[in-house]
């Protein structure tokens, strides 16, 4: 059985390890019953007044007055505490605990001193009995009342009992001496009861607090994203509903809901692994939080999607915030020895213009995000009403693309590229066409971006490569086939494997396959893309720079890469007859290409004048309706076969418009 000494040592240990919430609850027990303070103060004041009046002793009169004042102050503090409520801050808790402690110890000291004075300065046995009874009863009463803070209770007992025992021992009556010893034993027993009561209270409160902390921890886990520490989807939806309820349509205050999605995040996971992807998500969350500051709230919706909520005064302000977030997020992330390029697309909806319900706001922000990604990504789009219909159509296209692969709805057409020196077909460009069962013919300019954003471009390109190589394998060996490669596909690892498998399965040789890429691929300056392109070149594949002149054209591309072909965009050819500037640009590009031993293709040649102009400029090849429209594989094979037939000793030039 633990002794009082052991309990005191446990008390000292528990005092230093008390949880803030538990200690606060124990402090509140001191003020829970003002009634007991009132009863004790009335009893103490009555006894003190009686003793002072009966003895007329100045010291006892002063002691009586002080007991009255301290008692009233303690009652007042209890009522003030109860009225203003328990302080949750640590400083408030310490303040009220110290205030109670000072009052309790002062009151106990006054009762002990009063009893000591009566025993030593009065011969009235009745008053002595009254004083001893009052002090003893007080010591017995504070033990259970203040057991929640045993240091205070033990101090009260000691300060009240010790002066009384000393007073008893200073008398000449042996009976009083024995009574003094009994009171000390009584005090020791009170100590034990106080500590035992404290153990019960402490255990109960600690258990309750532990359950509360576990419940709070599970609640936080249910509302938090484990990777980033942000609010998760559930917490975000709850917060969004609360924020929308606070928006007053009669004020200028608005709520911007920004849905952000990282561009090509799957590629990061596929190339560098999920740990790298996790770091990108964590860094992205930190960057967005730094931009937001106290202006808004950030949640991770799932995967690489985040939702930002911010109070703004206008759609323009929401747009600026989105641009600021985009700029911060679109910075490289260092992962081990790799530098990962990160980009994002953001869709913005603003309440109350775009909705007052959380489901509608999220849907409209998602629609705006879909448009941002469909336009190439790395941009911010604010929701507009027309987007809803476009969104439904794009969703219809997206769902139809998967079926198109399964149901063989795609078609590959071939447009000849003519060598101006010989008049023969030098190569054919494979052009993908799709006829949707309900929408009819869908332009590649529409469905290719959808395929890229939906992650279907890899499967579609593999299908196109296979069909193109199957057709080209039957052509003359000096006729090549060119296939457009999506920038999104160049961020993946499996393209070389796909091409090798296609070449092996179709019997094509690598030198006859030309991959057409756009300037945007080179502008991205992605180390992985650059490495992949060089790997493809080492395999013997030909590279063509498509749509040259439409982007931020740079001669450094031609210096850094050994392109086999440069395609001059049709926008220059269209005005070549009327624009001396376009003529000069084309002439300059052609001369540069010749110096680098690179072939040039003029796209979109439709008239004799355009043909004459590009011939004058020195273009080596042309592509356009003047010579041939896109045709089926069978038609392309027939055309190439006709070119091989002699006609009175001359090659037969086929012009199929």
H-helix segments, 357-513: 358-374, 386-407, 444-453, 457-472, 495-506
Residue 611's closest CA among 596, 626, 598, 591? Answer: 626
Neighbouring-strand partners of residue 515: 483, 543
What is the average per-residue pLDDT within 433-456? 88
Kindly report, residue by residue over 192-249, the tens digit of the pLDDT.
666 666 666 666 656 555 555 555 555 555 668 888 888 888 888 889 999 998 887 7
- 352 prior amide bond cis, ω within 30: yes
Residue 461's closest CA among 438, 443, 486? Answer: 486
Distance (Å, rounded) from C-alpha 319 to C-alpha 607? 45
Are the C-beta atoms of 633 and 412 separated by less than 8 Å? Answer: yes
Distance (Å, rounded) from C-alpha 371 to C-alpha 382? 9
Torsion of the alpha carbons at 74, 78, 84 and 90, rounded to the nearest 10 = 80
Check residue 225 and give its pLDDT. Answer: 84
Supply the mean pLDDT for the chain: 82
What is the average per-residue pLDDT within 62-66? 88
- Report the relative pairing of strands 650-651 and 646-647 from DSSP bridges: antiparallel
CA 608, chain centre distance (Å): 58
Q: Specify the residue for token string 């000390």.
A: 184
What is the average per-residue pLDDT within 135-153? 69
Kindly report, residue by residue over 376-427, the tens digit of the pLDDT.
788 999 998 888 887 788 788 888 998 898 888 999 999 999 999 999 999 9
Distance (Å, rounded) from C-alpha 315 to C-alpha 256? 8
Using pLDDT thresholds of 50, 70 and 90, give the confidence band for residue 90: low
Check residue 334 and give its pLDDT. Answer: 86
Phi, psi of 7 (to 5 degrees): -65, -35
Decide if pLDDT at 451 tops 50.
yes
Distance (Å, rounded) from C-alpha 119 to C-alpha 305? 81
Are the C-beta atoms of 489 and 455 separated by less than 8 Å? Answer: no
Residues 6 or more apart whose Cβ sits within 8 Å of residue 7: 192, 195, 196, 199
Least confident range from 30-44, 134-148, 482-496: namely 134-148
CA 78, chain centre distance (Å): 47
Q: Which domains does the chain have, with CATH numbers?
A: 4-218 (no CATH), 233-384 (3.30.70.270), 402-563+627-651 (3.20.20.450)
Neighbouring-strand partners of residue 546: 518
Neighbouring-strand partners of residue 480: 427
Check residue 596 and give its pLDDT. Answer: 85
Other Cβ atoms closer than 10 A to 418 = 26
Using pLDDT thresholds of 50, 70 and 90, give the confidence band for residue 96: confident
Give 21-79 as a DSSP string. Answer: HHHHHHHHHHTS-HHHHHHHHHHHHHHHHHHHHHH--HHHHHHHHHHHHHHHHHHHHHH
Kindly report, residue by residue over 548-561, the tens digit of the pLDDT.
765 544 555 666 67
Using pLDDT thresholds of 50, 70 and 90, give the confidence band for residue 461: very high
pTM of the model: 0.55
Residues across the chain:
657
């Amino acid at each position: 059985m633990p002794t009082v000494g052991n309990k005191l040592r446990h008390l000292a240990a528990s005092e230093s390890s008390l949880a803030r919430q538990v200690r606060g609850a124990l402090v509140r027990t001191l003020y829970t019953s003002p009634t007991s303070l009132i009863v004790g103060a009335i009893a103490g004041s009555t006894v003190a007044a009686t003793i002072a009046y009966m003895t007329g002793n100045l010291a006892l009169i002063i002691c009586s007055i002080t007991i009255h004042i301290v008692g009233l102050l303690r009652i007042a503090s209890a009522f003030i505490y109860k009225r203003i409520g328990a302080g949750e801050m640590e400083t408030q808790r310490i303040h009220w605990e110290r205030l109670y402690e000072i009052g309790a110890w002062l009151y106990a000291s006054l009762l002990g001193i009063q009893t000591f004075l009566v025993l030593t300065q009065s011969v009235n046995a009745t008053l002595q009995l009254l004083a001893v009874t009052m002090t003893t009863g007080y010591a017995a009463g504070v033990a259970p009342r203040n057991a929640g803070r045993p240091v205070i209770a033990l101090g009260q007992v000691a300060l009240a009992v010790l002066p009384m025992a000393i007073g008893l021992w200073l008398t000449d009556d042996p009976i009083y001496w024995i009574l003094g010893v009994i009171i000390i034993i009584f005090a020791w027993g009170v100590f034990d009861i106080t500590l035992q009561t404290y153990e019960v209270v402490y255990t109960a409160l600690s258990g309750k607090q532990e359950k509360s902390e576990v419940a709070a921890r599970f609640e936080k886990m249910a509302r938090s994203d484990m990777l980033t520490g942000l609010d998760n989807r559930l917490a975000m939806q709850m917060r969004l509903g609360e924020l929308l309820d606070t928006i007053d349509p009669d004020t200028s205050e608005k709520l911007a809901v920004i849905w952000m999605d990282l561009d090509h995040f799957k590629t990061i996971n596929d190339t560098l692994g999920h740990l790298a992807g996790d770091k990108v998500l964590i860094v992205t969350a930190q960057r967005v939080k730094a931009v937001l500051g106290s202006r808004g709230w950030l949640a991770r919706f799932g995967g690489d999607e985040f939702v930002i909520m911010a109070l703004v005064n206008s759609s323009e302000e929401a747009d600026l915030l989105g641009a600021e977030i985009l700029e911060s997020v679109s910075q490289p992330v260092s992962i081990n020895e790799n530098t990962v390029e990160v980009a994002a697309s953001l869709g913005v909806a603003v309440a109350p213009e775009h909705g007052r319900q959380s489901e509608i706001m999220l849907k409209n922000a998602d629609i705006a995000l879909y448009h941002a990604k469909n336009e190439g990504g790395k941009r911010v789009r604010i929701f507009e009403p027309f987007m809803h219909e476009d969104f439904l159509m794009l969703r219809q296209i997206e769902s139809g693309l998967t079926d198109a692969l399964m149901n063989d709805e795609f078609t590959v057409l071939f447009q000849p590229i003519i060598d101006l020196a010989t008049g023969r077909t030098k190569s054919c460009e494979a052009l993908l066409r799709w006829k949707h069962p309900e929408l009819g013919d869908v332009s590649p300019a529409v469905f290719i971006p959808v395929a890229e954003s939906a992650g279907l471009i890899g499967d579609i390109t593999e299908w196109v490569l296979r069909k193109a190589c199957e057709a080209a394998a039957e052509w003359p060996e000096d006729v090549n086939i060119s296939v457009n490669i999506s920038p999104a596909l160049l961020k993946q690892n499996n393209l070389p494997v796909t091409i090798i498998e296609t070449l092996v399965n179709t019997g094509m040789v690598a030198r006859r396959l030309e991959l057409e890429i756009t300037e945007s691929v080179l502008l991205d300056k992605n180390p992985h893309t650059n490495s992949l392109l060089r790997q493809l070149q080492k395999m013997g594949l030909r590279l063509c720079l498509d749509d040259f002149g439409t982007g931020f054209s740079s001669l450094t591309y031609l210096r850094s890469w050994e392109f086999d072909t440069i395609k001059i965009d049709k926008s220059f050819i269209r005005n070549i007859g009327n624009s001396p500037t376009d003529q000069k640009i084309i002439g300059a590009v052609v001369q540069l290409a010749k110096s680098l031993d690179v072939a040039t293709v003029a796209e979109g040649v439709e008239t004799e004048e355009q043909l004459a102009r590009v011939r004058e400029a020195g273009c080596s090849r042309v592509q356009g309706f003047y010579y041939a429209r896109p045709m089926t594989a069978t038609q392309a094979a027939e055309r190439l076969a006709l070119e091989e037939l002699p006609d009175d000793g001359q090659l037969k030039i086929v012009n199929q418009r």
